[in-house]
Each structure stands twice: as C-alpha cells, then as structure tokens.
Amino acid sequence: MRLYWREHRIGQKLVLQGDDNSEEELGAVRKTPRGYDALARALGYDPGRAAKGLASVEEAKQFVESFTPWDLFDGAADLAVEPDVEPAKP
C-alpha cells in the first residue's frame, strides 16, 4: 500500500493506493483567490474536516493529514505519507 499526494489540475489530492493498484481519494487541497482550501475524507457529514483560506499549500496539506483519513481503511493505519508529490495522471 502507498499513501501519497498527487498533482491535480486545481491542486493536489491525497491518495491511498492499495496492493491491487486500486485508489481511494482521502483528501484534497486547492488554490483559490482567498488562499488554499482543504478537505479530509470522513464517514458521513463532518464540516470540521474542511477549511478555507489557509495561507499555504503546506498548511492545507497538514490540515488534511492531521485527521489521518487513511485510518478508515484496513491495513493502512501504520502508513506514512510519502514526501514527494506524484505528477498528475495523464
């Protein structure tokens, strides 16, 4: 299993890639005119897992990672987010 950030046309997505190459989107950050927006995946509705107007992409990514959304998946609890950002999929 892998846990990494991937470039996206409007920002970056936090991706959990399974051993079978399946992918789950666990969070996202995007640049807006007011700063950066961040969203971490949750079970059900949880408005506390979203933030708007963060100062930097790094702050937005830390916000998403602070919720450890990968804990929702079996076998992923011990994973660490890879430091390098993957390029966008073609």
Find out whether 14 and 85 touch, Cβ atoms under 8 Å.
Answer: no
The span from the CA of 1 to the CA of 3, in Å, is 7
Residue 89 is predicted with a pLDDT of 84
What is the Rg, in whole angstroms, of the alpha carbon atoms belonging to the chain? 13
Task: Give me the long-range contacts of 62-67 (CB less than 8 A, separation at least 24).
Answer: 63/38, 64/14, 64/26, 64/27, 64/28, 64/29, 64/38, 64/39, 64/40, 65/14, 65/27, 66/40, 67/27, 67/40, 67/42
Residue 75 is predicted with a pLDDT of 87
Which of the two residues, 84 and 90, has the higher pLDDT score?
84
pLDDT of 90 higher than 90 = no
Q: Which structure tokens are listed for 21?
A: 């190459």
Stretch 4-29: mean pLDDT:
96
